[in-house]
């Protein structure tokens, strides 16, 4: 009987030792000296070409790809602050162009065709467009290939017409008048001179027509005797 107890204790000790060795082997941190890694694709070849095209369009500016809205915007005012932050977390843009102050000025997505659940994706694009407009960031859709885009100089000239006024950065102290204007959403209701409403997403064809619309608007603002006659 005593020998049986001795054998049982030896078995239990061996089991405990094995469990301890297993735990130690699986929890002990490796030095990493034998680890090896493989590079993954950050951008597709098409994205690399578009990034080069945007650098040519905005020389000297910072152009970033695949940027979440949460990394380029913050909630300025919202009825539900948590929900507004969640919208920023779930949205991203394909490219963003920053001004000299490091803040975003233009955001771009590349047009996609034959998408599954296209209606839901279109709704998300409209939400993204509305969010960006309230921050003074113009959102546009790019063609899915630089061979379908205008020259960088022509594209930049049209983008200058499409630029939006930007709200005052939140770190700057607002006057009482400015706080009042913020409360009544004066900026959010402001339609830019291009006439595009918040619910509309500007594509390349709409952007290329801005020069003609701008000239026509300026012509209408002149006295009748100075207006150009197209007919």
Distances (CA, A) of 84 to 75, 78, 107, 171: 7, 7, 19, 19
Q: Which domain holds residue 198?
A: 45-168+175-218
Asked if residues 167 and 137 have their Cβ atoms less than 8 Å apart, the reply is no
Cα gap 47→65, rounded to integer Å:
8
Q: Residue 13 domain-assigned? A: no
Q: Residue 225 domain-assigned? A: no
Q: Please list, in sequence order, all residues whose beta carbon lies within 8 angstroms of the beta carbon of residue 93, skipping any fewer than 6 positions away.
A: 67, 69, 72, 107, 108, 109, 128, 132, 139
Q: What is the mean pLDDT of the chain?
A: 78
Q: Residue 84 domain-assigned? A: yes
Give the side-chain half-sphere CA count within 13 A for 226: 6
Q: Residue 144 domain-assigned? A: yes
Q: Residue 204 domain-assigned? A: yes
Cα gap 182→173, rounded to integer Å:
13
Cα gap 106→85, rounded to integer Å:
20
Average pLDDT rounded to a whole number, residues 199-210 = 70
**Tokens describing residue 55:** 């650098």
Q: Residue 189 domain-assigned? A: yes
pLDDT digits 0-9 by tens, 46-65: 999 999 999 999 999 999 99
Residue 228 has pLDDT above 90, yes or no: no
Q: How many domains does one find in the chain?
A: 1
pLDDT digits 0-9 by tens, 75-104: 988 889 999 999 999 999 999 999 989 999
pLDDT digits 0-9 by tens, 110-166: 987 666 677 778 888 899 999 999 999 999 999 988 999 999 999 999 888 888 887
Residue 198 has pLDDT above 50, yes or no: no
Q: Residue 122 domain-assigned? A: yes
Cα gap 103→151, rounded to integer Å:
25
Stated as kind and residue range, the H or E segment containing 94 is: strand 92-98
Q: Residue 229 domain-assigned? A: no
Whole-number pLDDT of residue 162: 83
């Amino acid at each position: 009987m005593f020998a049986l107890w001795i054998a049982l204790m030896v078995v239990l000790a061996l089991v405990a030792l094995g469990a301890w060795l297993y735990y130690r082997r699986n929890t002990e941190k490796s030095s990493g000296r034998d680890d090896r890694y493989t590079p993954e694709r950050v951008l597709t070849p098409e994205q690399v070409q578009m990034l080069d095209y945007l650098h040519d369009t905005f020389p000297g500016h910072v152009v970033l790809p695949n940027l979440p809205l949460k990394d380029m915007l913050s909630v300025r005012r919202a009825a539900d602050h948590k929900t507004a932050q969640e919208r920023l977390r779930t949205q991203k843009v394909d490219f963003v162009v920053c001004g000299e102050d490091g803040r975003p000025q233009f955001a771009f997505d590349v047009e996609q065709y034959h998408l599954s659940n296209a209606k839901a994706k279109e709704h998300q694009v409209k939400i993204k467009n509305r969010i960006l407009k309230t921050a003074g960031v113009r959102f546009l859709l790019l063609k899915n290939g630089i061979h379908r885009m205008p020259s960088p100089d022509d594209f930049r000239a049209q983008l200058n017409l499409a630029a939006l006024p930007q709200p005052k950065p939140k770190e700057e102290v607002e006057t009482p008048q400015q706080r009042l204007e913020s409360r009544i959403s004066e900026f959010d209701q402001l339609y830019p001179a291009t006439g595009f409403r918040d619910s509309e997403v500007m594509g390349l064809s709409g952007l290329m027509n801005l020069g003609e619309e701008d000239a026509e608007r300026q012509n209408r603002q002149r006295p009748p005797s100075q207006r150009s006659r197209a007919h």
